[in-house]
């Protein structure tokens, strides 16, 4: 839209329902915060050896059994828990978990200060997932079910790239330019 020389450009924060991509991103952050990080992943920090352990206070027994069942049937890396894996889980618990809480607020409220942290998160998450997938495919703990493990991990590869693109392609991803008082738009141009 063209803006007249000297015209004032005001911005209006769009409601979340007016930003369908952000709805998907917020849902993804919610799944990570309320399920993956502090239920699934935290199990791998509270139980050092999944073959000899006592059930911890957290996460609940059901989630421990779910994680172990998945690991025993499909994902040897999850059960092996080598040092690099545990470090990635610590990063998830200490850095990504708080990021998800802040990002949910920022995306829902349309706060543009989240752009730089979201780009950093996108780069870190993409790196983490690529390292994990390389081990899952070619490493010592490779899975015999790589297609399934890849499919389950694809959201954690695709969504960080989407978030990074969204935050870097748009200077104002949560707002739209609106006419200043006394001005109006005609076919996409301010008059």
* pLDDT the model gives residue 10: 86
Nearest to 1, CA basis, from 10, 111, 109: 10
Helix 115-138 to helix 83-91 angle (10° resolution) is: 160
DSSP the chain: -B--TTPPPEEEEPPGGG-HHHHHHHHHHHHIIIIIIIIIIHHHHH-S-TTS----SSS-HHHHHHHHHHHHHH-HHHHH--HHHHHHHHHIIIIIHHHHHHHHHHHHHT-GGGHHHHHHHHHHHHHHHHHHHHHHHHSTT--TTHHHHHHHHHHHHHHHHHHHHHHHH-SSTTEEEEPPTT--EETTEE-
pLDDT in tens, 32-61: 999 999 999 999 999 999 999 999 999 999
pTM for the full model? 0.87
* pLDDT the model gives residue 173: 95
* pLDDT the model gives residue 189: 44
pLDDT in tens, 160-178: 999 999 999 989 999 998 8
Do 157 and 108 meet the contact criterion of CB atoms below 8 Å apart? no
User: Locate tokens 């618990």: which residue?
Assistant: 93
Low-confidence ranges of the chain (pLDDT < 50): 1-6, 185-191
């Amino acid at each position: 839209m063209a803006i007249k020389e000297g015209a004032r450009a005001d911005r209006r924060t769009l409601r979340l329902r007016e930003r369908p991509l952000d709805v998907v991103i917020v849902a993804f952050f919610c799944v990570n915060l309320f399920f993956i990080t502090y239920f699934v992943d935290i199990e791998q920090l509270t139980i050092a050896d999944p073959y000899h352990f006592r059930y911890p206070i957290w996460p609940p027994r059901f989630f421990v059994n779910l994680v172990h069942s998945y690991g025993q049937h499909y994902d040897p890396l999850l059960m092996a828990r080598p040092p690099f894996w545990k470090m990635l889980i610590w990063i998830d618990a200490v850095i990504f978990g708080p990021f998800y809480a802040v990002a949910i607020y920022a995306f829902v409220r349309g706060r543009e200060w989240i752009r730089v942290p979201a780009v950093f998160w996108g780069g870190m998450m993409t790196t983490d997932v690529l390292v994990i997938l390389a081990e899952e495919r070619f490493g010592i703990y490779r899975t015999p079910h790589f297609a399934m493990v890849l499919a389950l991990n694809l959201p954690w590869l695709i969504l960080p790239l989407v978030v990074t693109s969204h935050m870097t392609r748009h200077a104002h991803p949560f707002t739209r330019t609106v006419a200043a008082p006394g001005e109006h738009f005609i076919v996409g141009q301010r008059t």
